[in-house]
Amino acid sequence: MASEPAKVVPPTEAPVVEPEKAAPPPTTWPTDYFAVADVVLRLLVFASAVVSVVVMSTSKETKMLPNPRPAKFTHSPALIYFVAALSVAGFFSLITTLGSLYSLIKPGCCAKIISHFIVIDVLLLGIVASATGAAGSVTYVGLKGNTHVRWGKVCTLYGKFCRYVGASIGVSLFASVMLVLLVLLSVYSLSKKIPK
C-alpha cells in the first residue's frame, strides 16, 4: 500500500502582540488657564510697582541758580504718598503671587483664596489709583503751571526730574490697569466655581 505523502501543515502564525504603549507621563503643568493668567498679571503688577518706585526714587535734579536748588520727590507730600502706596502695592502683589502659585499647585483651595484676593486687589487698586492721581496732579501743575494762583512752570527748569516723574506715573497707570484686569478675572473665576 502506497503511503500517502504527508500533508505539510503550515505553521500557524502566532498573533502578533503589540507591546503596550507606555502611558504618557502625567502632566504637572496646570490646565487652568485662568490661574496661569492670574499669576502672570500679579507678576506684572509687582514688576510695574517696583519699576515705578525705583524710577520715582531716582528722580533727582539740581540746578545751579544763585544757589544750588535740588528737585527731589521728597519735596512733595503727593510724591511721597505715591512711593509709599506703590511700595505697599508691590509688597502685597508679591504675597498674592505666591498665594496664587500655591492655588495653582493645589487647586482644591482655590475658591477661598480667590475670594480673599478680590478684596486685596480692590484695596490695592484704590490705593494705586489715588496715589497715581495725586502724583499726576502735582506733575501737571509742574508741567503747565497755574496762572490763576501764579504758580509757574517748574518742568521748564527741571526737565529730567519731570521726565522721571512722568515715566513713573505712566508705569503706575499700567499697574492700575493690571489690577482692574485682576479683579475682573478673579470675579469671573469665582463665579465659575459657584454651583448652578
The pLDDT assigned to 174 comes to 96
What share of the chain has pLDDT > 70, as a percent? 80
Cβ atoms of residues 163 and 169 within 8 Å: no
pLDDT at 5: 62
Is residue 65 pLDDT above 50, yes or no?
yes
Q: In 3D, which of 117, 55, 45 has the Cα closest to residue 88?
A: 45
pLDDT range class, residue 30, cuts 50, 70, 90: very low
* 97-120: pLDDT as tens digits: 988 888 777 766 666 777 788 899
Confidence check: pLDDT of 168 > 50: yes
Q: CA distances (Å), 151 to each of 133, 140, 144, 146, in order?
A: 19, 11, 9, 5
Q: Where are the domains of the chain?
A: 33-62+69-193
Question: Residue 17 class from Cβ within 10 Å (0-12 exposed, 13-18 middle, 19+ buried)?
Answer: exposed
Number of other residues whose CB lies within 10 A of the CB of residue 11: 6
Whole-number mean pLDDT of the chain?
83
- Checking if the pLDDT of 27 tops 80, the result is no
CA max distance for the chain = 140
Q: Which residue has the higher pLDDT, 149 or 42?
A: 42
- pTM, rounded to two decimals: 0.77
Check whether 42 has a pLDDT greater than 90: yes
| pLDDT higher than 90, residue 24 | no
C-alpha 151/C-alpha 85 separation (Å) is 27
What pLDDT was estimated at residue 31?
57
Q: What is the mean pLDDT of residues 2-10?
A: 61
